[in-house]
Amino acid sequence: MFFCPFCGTLLLIEPHHPTNRFACSSCRYVAPITSTQPLTANHSFLKYNKVVEESSDAAQTTVKKEEEEADGGQVITVQCQNDEKACDGDRAHYVQIQMRSADEPATTFFKCLKCGFQWKQD
């Protein structure tokens, strides 16, 4: 790929002139193609491809402690909001996600570490 030295636009090849040339569609920059080598290049990515073997090792799972951040959120001290069960848990994972437009506050999702109850706060 070649770019215009003045405006940075991708140069296009104009084949209709006596010799091929690069031309900028924005600022009318023109440069003759003087290379005797072809402008195309072939690349092979076969050596980078990896075969995925189906084996029992590939399906390993790791078990994490309940206190670790298994849900991807950080741990915070907050009272569990579970009204159905009398949970006295005071630690939960939380994740903040911008659900609405940027001028609205983010929605915070919680998951109690003790009972697993999930709730959100807008």
Residue ranges of the binding site for Zn(2+) = 4, 7, 24, 27, 80, 87, 112, 115
**118 and 110 Cβ atoms separated by less than 8 Å:** yes
From first CA to last CA, the distance across the chain in angstroms is 48
Tokens of 46: 């076969």
Contact yes or no for 113/76 (Cβ under 8 A): no
Q: 104 is written with which tokens?
A: 């609205």
Whole-number Å distance between alpha carbons of 15 and 55: 54
> Dihedral, CA atoms, 21, 25, 28, 34, nearest 10 degrees?
-20
